[in-house]
């Protein structure tokens, strides 16, 4: 029904100087293109979809509009029906007109909610665009409610709004809020701080694998952030080392540093190489005997290599284009390029935390275009002009690209699937290979049809 796009003539990569805010010639690799235009991305609210599953006794209450509620049920798809631990307090006309006191209204909603869900140990108020634009002070609301509901439950707040956060950045703000809350409660605490904090939501199975590896390496006092329960111990102090398991944790890293922790710089644990480097950086920081390290990781590293190899011929030499989505893109591209032999055309990321992804970018070949932010129409033009073999993009773009005869991998699956660590390396490769396999299967069938 929609008119097709007018064809745009392009010579290779199109960089429109009007739209480029900063083009740093010195950044490695290649250049970093910064763009500002229409962003075809999720807002931070969507991270609630995995966070509420991870932390089983927390409830996420979005303070927002009908749009926010609609987003959540559209993005959560089928899951919304299994009594999820999230809901929306929808602001109405009378709230905005000042006829109702927003804080009283919110208190009322919270009372109703907690009466329905007495099992909740932590209530998380999540800010949205409308609540932020009208400057509703959710931090203050959280403090007030927290005081009222202590000690049965805690109440914290963070922003998941689209104006402040893109997709996974919602998790970043949540973790930062958890740390701020822990710091606030610290004076009464007598337990000793964690030696290592692993920051970033990981699938339970991945977390368990890493925990076993840490034990085998002789590293104890490890805390995973977020924990599985709102009441999990979270003590950070000087002497705590932390490592990021996810690349989108700028605010969390800052909060950890504020509490006195210091960062272990590493690649992100995607693929055999990434996981090895990540663990090696940690082992190094804890002065694990190198021989012991090699002994512990030898088998799993070999398994990761074997599993990945099954898919190499599907991706080797294939040209891949990444649209921005989760900030995982540079690490995923590095894995595809180095372990599967793919050629990366462009790596889009909604945001680049330079320090945290420096290692990843350094490993990408110099002709890769790294783009930060988005102007979706122009990026589509670039993508079409480059005509890659595989496009990694969101669900709003995937089917339209497929309908043009291109092969896509929808990107939010990387946020919902266990992909980190040695044992998941093959699964990660398969996520990329599957659409290519499928296209080949269906094309074969169509060809057979035509010949017979």
Partner 1 sequence: MKLAMWTYEGPPHVGAMRIAASMRGLHYVLHAPQGDTYADLLFTMIERRPSRPPVTYTTFQARDLSSSTADIFRDACREAVERFRPEALIVGASCTGELLQDDPGGLARTLDLGLPVIPLDLPSYQRKEHWGAAETFYQIVRAFAANRQRPETIDPLSCNILGPTALGFRVRDDVTEIRRLLESEGIDVRVIAPLGASPADLARLPDAAFNIVLSPEIANPAAQWLKRTYGMPIVSTVPIGIGATRDFLAEVRAAAGLPPRPLGAQAGRDRLTWYARSVDSTYLTRKRVFIFGEASHAVAAARIATEELGFTVCGLGTYMREFAREIRDAAARYGVEPLITDDHLEVEDAIIAARPELVLGTQMERHVAKRLRLPCAVISAPAHVQDFPARYAPQMGYEGANVIFDSWVHPLMMGLEEHLLQMFRSDFEFNDHAAASHLHPHAPAAPASAAAQPVRDESADGATAIDVGTGWTADAERELKKVPFFVRGKARRNTEAFAASRGIRSITVETLYDAKAHFAR
Shortest separation between residue 170's beta carbon and ligand SF4, angstroms: 9
Q: Quick one: 283 or 376, whose CB is closer to partner 1? A: 376
Tokens of 239: 């002497």
The beta strand positions in 186-312, using DSSP E, are 196-199, 222-225, 241-244, 262-263
**Is residue 373 a contact point for ligand SF4 (CB under 6 A)?**
no
**In angstroms, what is the C-alpha Rg of the chain?**
23
Phi then psi for residue 409, to 5 deg, are -125, 120
Instruction: Tell me the per-residue interface mask from 191 to 230 with ligand SF4, x by CB under 6 A, - otherwise.
Output: ----------------------------------------
* Furthest C-alpha separation in the chain: 78
Q: Quick one: 68 or 175, whose CB is closer to ligand SF4? A: 68
Q: Which long-range contacts (CB under 8 A, 24 or more apart) does 438-443 make?
A: 439/407
Are residues 102 and 75 in contact, defined by beta-carbon separation less than 8 angstroms? no
Instruction: Tell me the per-residue interface mask from 100 to 129 with partner 1, x by CB under 8 A, - otherwise.
Output: x-x--xx-xx--xx---------------x
DSSP 21: E
Partner from ligand SF4, partner 1, none contacting 118, C-beta within 5 to 8 A by type: none
- Mark the segment that binds partner 1 (CB under 8 A) among 91-99, 148-156, 281-289, 352-360: 91-99
The beta strand positions in 95-230, using DSSP E, are 122-127, 154-159, 196-199, 222-225
3-state secondary structure of 137: coil
Nearest to 256 by CA among 278, 237, 232: 237
Q: Quick one: 5 or 416, whose CB is closer to ligand SF4? A: 416
**Is residue 424 a contact point for ligand SF4 (CB under 6 A)?**
no
**Is residue 295 a contact point for partner 1 (CB under 8 A)?**
no
Angle between helices 329-340 and 425-451 (to 10 degrees): 70
**Is residue 129 a contact point for ligand SF4 (CB under 6 A)?**
yes
Are residues 86 and 58 in contact, defined by beta-carbon separation less than 8 angstroms? no
Interaction residues for ligand SF4, span 311-330 (CB under 6 A): none
Shortest separation between residue 387's beta carbon and partner 1, angstroms: 18
- 271/172 Cα distance (integer angstroms): 23
Are residues 425 and 275 in contact, defined by beta-carbon separation less than 8 angstroms? yes
Q: Which position among 47, 65, 168, 349 is part of the footprint of partner 1 (CB under 8 A)? A: 65
Instruction: Tell me the per-residue interface mask from 51 to 90 with ligand SF4, x by CB under 6 A, - otherwise.
Output: -------------xx-xx--x-----x-------------
Closest residue (Cβ) to ligand SF4?
77
Q: Which position among 33, 58, 75, 177 is part of the footprint of partner 1 (CB under 8 A)? A: 75
**Is residue 357 a contact point for partner 1 (CB under 8 A)?**
no
Tokens of 88: 């929306």
**Is residue 427 a contact point for partner 1 (CB under 8 A)?**
no
Cβ partners under 8 Å of residue 396, min gap 6? 40
Phi then psi for residue 270, to 5 deg, are -110, 130
**Is residue 403 a contact point for partner 1 (CB under 8 A)?**
yes
- Which ranges of 316-424 does DSSP label H, i.e. alpha helix? 329-340, 354-363, 376-386, 395-403, 413-416
**Is residue 407 a contact point for partner 1 (CB under 8 A)?**
no
Instruction: Tell me the per-residue interface mask from 145 to 184 with ligand SF4, x by CB under 6 A, - otherwise.
Output: ----------------xx----------------------
Q: Which position among 10, 16, 70, 265 is part of the footprint of partner 1 (CB under 8 A)? A: 70
Q: Which position among 31, 52, 123, 128 is part of the footprint of ligand SF4 (CB under 6 A)? A: 128
Residue ranges binding ligand SF4 (CB under 6 A): 43, 45, 64-65, 67-68, 71, 77, 128-130, 161-162
């Amino acid at each position: 029904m929609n008119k097709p796009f007018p064809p745009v003539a392009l010579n290779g990569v199109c960089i429109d100087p009007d739209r480029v805010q900063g083009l740093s010639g010195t950044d490695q690799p290649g250049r970093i293109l910064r763009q500002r235009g229409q962003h075809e991305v999720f807002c931070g609210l969507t991270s609630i979809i995995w966070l509420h599953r991870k932390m089983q006794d927390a409830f996420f209450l979005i303070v927002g509009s009908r749009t926010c509620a609609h987003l959540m049920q559209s993005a959560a798809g089928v899951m919304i029906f299994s009594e999820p631990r999230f809901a929306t307090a929808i602001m109405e006309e009378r709230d905005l007109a000042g006829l109702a006191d927003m804080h009283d209204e919110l208190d009322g909603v919270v009372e109703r909610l907690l009466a329905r869900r007495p099992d909740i140990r932590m209530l998380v108020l999540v800010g949205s665009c409308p609540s932020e634009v009208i400057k509703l002070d959710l931090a203050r609301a959280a403090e007030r409610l927290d005081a009222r509901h202590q000690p049965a439950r805690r109440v914290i707040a963070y922003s998941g709004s689209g104006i402040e956060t893109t997709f996974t950045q919602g998790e970043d703000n949540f973790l930062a809020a958890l740390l701020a809350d822990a710091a606030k409660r610290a004076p009464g605490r007598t337990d000793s701080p964690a030696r290592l904090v692993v920051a970033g939501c990981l699938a339970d199975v991945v977390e368990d694998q890493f925990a076993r590896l840490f034990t085998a390496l002789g590293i104890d006092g490890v805390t995973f952030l977020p924990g599985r329960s709102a009441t999990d111990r979270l003590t950070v102090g000087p002497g705590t080392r932390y490592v990021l398991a996810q690349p989108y944790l700028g605010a969390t890293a800052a909060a950890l540093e504020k509490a006195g922790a210091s960062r272990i710089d590493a690649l992100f644990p995607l693929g055999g190489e990434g996981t090895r480097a990540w663990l090696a950086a940690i082992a190094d920081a804890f002065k694990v005997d190198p021989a012991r390290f090699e002994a512990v990781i030898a088998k799993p590293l070999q398994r990761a290599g074997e599993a990945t190899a099954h898919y190499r011929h599907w991706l080797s030499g294939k040209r891949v284009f990444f649209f921005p989505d989760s900030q995982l893109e540079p690490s995923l591209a590095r894995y595809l390029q180095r372990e599967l032999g793919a050629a990366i055309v462009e790596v889009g990321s909604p945001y680049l935390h330079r320090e945290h992804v420096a290692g990843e970018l350094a490993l990408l070949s110099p002709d890769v275009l790294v783009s930060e932010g988005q102007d979706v129409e122009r990026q589509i033009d670039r993508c079409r002009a480059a005509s890659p073999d595989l496009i990694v993009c969101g669900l709003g773009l995937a089917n339209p690209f497929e309908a043009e005869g291109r092969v896509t991998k929808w990107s939010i699956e990387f946020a919902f699937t266990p992909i980190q660590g040695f044992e998941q390396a093959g699964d990660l490769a398969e996520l990329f290979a599957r659409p290519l396999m499928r296209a080949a299967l269906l094309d074969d069938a169509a060809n057979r049809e035509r010949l017979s």
